[in-house]
Amino acid sequence: MADRDDTPRPREVDQLQELLDRVGEDEDRKDRLLQIAALDRETYTDLMDLYQRQAAQVVSKDVFYPYEAIPGTFRIGTDPDGQPIGLTHDQLNEHLLLVGMTGSGKTTFFYNLMDTCAAMDLPYMVFDFKNDYRHLAAEQDLLVINWRDFKFNPLQPPPGVQPGKWGEILADTFAHATDLLIGSESYFLEQLRLLYSLYDADTATEHWPSVFELRDLVAADEITKASPKFKYKERVASRLSMMTGFSGDIFDCSTGYPLADLLERNVIFELKEPNQYVTNFVVEALLTWIFYYRDAHSQRQELRHLIMFDEAKRVFDVNRGRQPASGYPPIDDLVGKVREFGEGLIVGDHEPSKLTDSLKANTNAKLWLTLGSGTDITEMARTFGLERDETDFTRTMEKGEALFKLADREPVPIHLPDYTVEKTLTEADIRARMENELAALESQARSRPDRFTEYLGIHEEDRTDDTAAVGEVAETLLASVIEAPFLSMAKRYDAIDVDSKKGTQAKNELLTLGLVREVEVATGTPGRNPKLLELTAEGRTVLEDRDYDVEDTGRRGIEHRYWQQQIADYYADRGFTTETEFSIGTQRIDVYAVQGNEAVAIEVARSPEHEVDNIKKCLDYDVNQVQVAYLEEHVKDRIESAVREDLGHIPGRVEFMPVSSFT
């Protein structure tokens, strides 16, 4: 397969043209250089280096002179004259947007701000999608909560908020976070109201239903395919299935950790591993919970708490805000409101052009670090209100340099302080360090009142003390999950020789008993997303107690294994010898395919984490080609960026391919 990275992309050639324009290169020579650069990446890179140096001599910080004084308690840097630049409590309470490409210094900025907050006894909360901030626990009093240990029940309203009101708020939040439209949102709210009534939630209750109970209630809803509501049910059920899948332990509780208490501490939520829908929902639901908790208790005062996170477009995605059918994003509305309750937002991203206008309009302070994309530079120039020569200055900024602006002030070039931290704490280290502190946080396991179980047709007396009393058809269906894990539901029913009605009843029984989870695999092709069943820990126990041989799949979820098998089958059909989980010493390659002298290593990239190490591992094994199979473009873009940052370029043997190439 051809290497698609030996020539620069059109947008990269456009960036070179901008540099040639800026230094005033002759038109004929400019045309010749652009033609040559477009044919060869090495030539393009050399020309970019040459003209970036020339451009840096053309533009100077003097375009912003004299520098406006911006003193403040929260010092963030110094201007070119060495004068400190900082923010007051009030200014920080009006939110700060931080933009910059990978490696420009965003993480360092967060380190310094966290250090300043700790020194001033201002509690903060960090949503960490890269596991970058745990290392500060060696220097600060930090509570680091890895997602595997986090207990959060979004169905439990904040104290002082009525369940009926919270249900409407949560339905709106869930729909936005999981890309559901108005019809599906209405169905979600209808089922949530029913669930609250089965738990007597309108009266004082100590036991709240969880996302798992909502999933089971939706699964038990008998709607004919002819009904317009059937599609709504299917969409809601698929989203709830994702929520209770690999990442579902977060929501596996009746009452979660006391969030009101956590607002008084410095807390980091590590959310690197869960899938994007789960992560988005957790972040949006927590932000919403905090706002309505503050509102219910009239906690209006000056700055009292900060919330920080990078990758802001996870929550403030401009594309979702432009879908009329999905309604106005509720999280955008909160940005302008939380400040009156003393909550300041510090959010960052490397692609400001993909952020909502609402976020950019509602952040009083903005910090612009180096950006790589011309589109993003243009967007920030519009946001800052810069002239051409002022915009040109930003192209010369290096790591740790930025342009800072308050809404009512002129921009000021600043230098950000460095921060040295030893990144030595592993996930096992931090979880062990936090174990006792987390054990002291109160939470309650899920419980199901009689009214709920009776509604679903399952009675407590029908269960044994340790393992569920599984019906004959349901046990056969359960066993088929280990025998043929990648069958769609229709094919699975055929395989165990039952009709759709009996098969669905058996499936719902297993879902309700918590023995399986239903996972919809996103293929990127509309109408071709198979629904698979995956064993839970309880399901494994039931089968093992019945002497079934259950394979240990480790931490590999059903979606990951599905794509491994699809890719292996693809190469096997073309005459390759294939092996999944191919062992190379203590490491493994997702799929290894060999035919004659040609060896291909394929890594399945459902998220960008760990993929640079995976690529380097495959390159070290000296295969002919390393293929990175990705599901979403933004995942591919982030991996490409990380590879370039780590290796300086994307090796010719590395190719990025959508998973649809293997179907």
661 DSSP assignment: G
Q: What percent of the chain has pLDDT above 90? A: 44
Question: Residue 542: its pLDDT value, please?
Answer: 83
Percent of the chain with pLDDT over 70: 93
pLDDT tens sequence across 307-362: 999 888 888 888 765 454 455 567 777 888 888 899 999 999 999 998 988 889 88
Distance CA 539, CA 516 (A): 6
Kindly give, in sequence order, each residue whose CB lies less than 8 Å from that of residue 361, ignoring residues fewer than 6 positions away. Answer: none
Of residues 148 and 514, the one with the higher pLDDT is 148
C-alpha–C-alpha distance, residues 273 and 130, integer Å:
9
Element of type H or E holding 35? helix 27-39
Q: Are strands 577-584 and 531-535 parallel, antiparallel or unpaired?
A: unpaired
Helices (H), 385-484: 388-394, 427-439, 450-456, 472-483
Average pLDDT rounded to a whole number, residues 66-84: 90
pLDDT in tens, 78-118: 998 899 999 999 999 999 999 999 889 999 999 999 999 99
Confidence of residue 61 (pLDDT cuts 50, 70, 90): low
Query: With left for phi above 0 and alpha for psi between -120 and 50, is residue 24 left, alpha or beta?
Result: left
What are the pLDDT digits (tens) for 591-642?
Answer: 999 999 999 999 998 666 678 888 999 998 889 999 999 887 878 888 888 8
pLDDT on residue 417 = 95
Structure confidence at residue 236 as a pLDDT band (50, 70, 90): very high
If pLDDT is split at 50, 70 and 90, which confidence band does 463 have?
very low
| pLDDT tens by residue, 399-419 | 899 999 998 889 999 999 999
Buried b (16+ CB within 10 A) or exposed e, 166-195: bbebbbbbbbbbbbbeebbbbbbbbbbbeb
- Between these two residues, 525 and 447, which has the higher pLDDT value? 447
The answer on pLDDT for 528 being more than 80 is no
What mean pLDDT comes out for the span 527-536?
82
> Alpha-carbon distance 452 to 195, whole Å?
8
pLDDT for the residue numbered 327: 54
Contact 242, 276 (CB under 8 A): no
2, exposed or middle or buried, with CB in 10 Å at 0-12, 13-18, 19+? exposed
Residue 568 has pLDDT above 50, yes or no: yes
Of residues 240 and 545, more confidence is placed in: 240
Of 524, 662, 554, residue with least CA distance to 600: 662
Higher pLDDT, 276 or 232: 232
pLDDT for the residue numbered 314: 82
Long-range Cβ contacts of 43-50 (<8 Å, 24+ apart): 44/7, 44/8, 44/12, 44/13, 44/16, 47/16, 48/15, 48/16, 48/19
Residue type, 288: T
HEC string for 57-119: HHCCHHHHCCCCCCCCCEEEEECCCCCEEEECHHHHHCCEEEECCCCCCHHHHHHHHHHHHHH
Mean pLDDT calculated for residue range 365-385: 91
Higher pLDDT, 376 or 557: 376
Summarised one tens digit per residue, pLDDT across range 137-146 is: 988 899 999 9
pLDDT higher than threshold 70 for residue 560: yes
Lowest mean pLDDT among 59-63, 151-155, 222-226, 646-650: 59-63
Report pLDDT for 145: 97
pLDDT at 460: 43
AA identity, residue 77? G
Residue 459: pLDDT band by 50, 70, 90 thresholds?
Answer: very low
State yes or no: pLDDT of 280 exceeds 60: yes
For the residues 213-233, what does the mean pLDDT come to? 89
Q: What is the pLDDT of residue 564?
A: 92
pLDDT band at 465 (very low <50, low <70, confident <90, very high): very low
pLDDT in tens, 264-273: 999 999 998 8
Q: Quote the CA–CA distance of 549 and 559 in Å, as a whole number.
A: 21
Return the bridge partners of 99, or none.
349, 368
Whole-number pLDDT of residue 59? 52
Average pLDDT taken over every residue of the chain? 87
Supply the pLDDT for residue 525.
65
pLDDT computed for residue 547 by the predictor: 79
pTM for the predicted model, two decimal places: 0.66
Work out the pLDDT band at 544, boundaries 50, 70, 90: confident
Q: For 362, left (φ over 0), alpha (ψ -120 to 50), or beta?
A: alpha
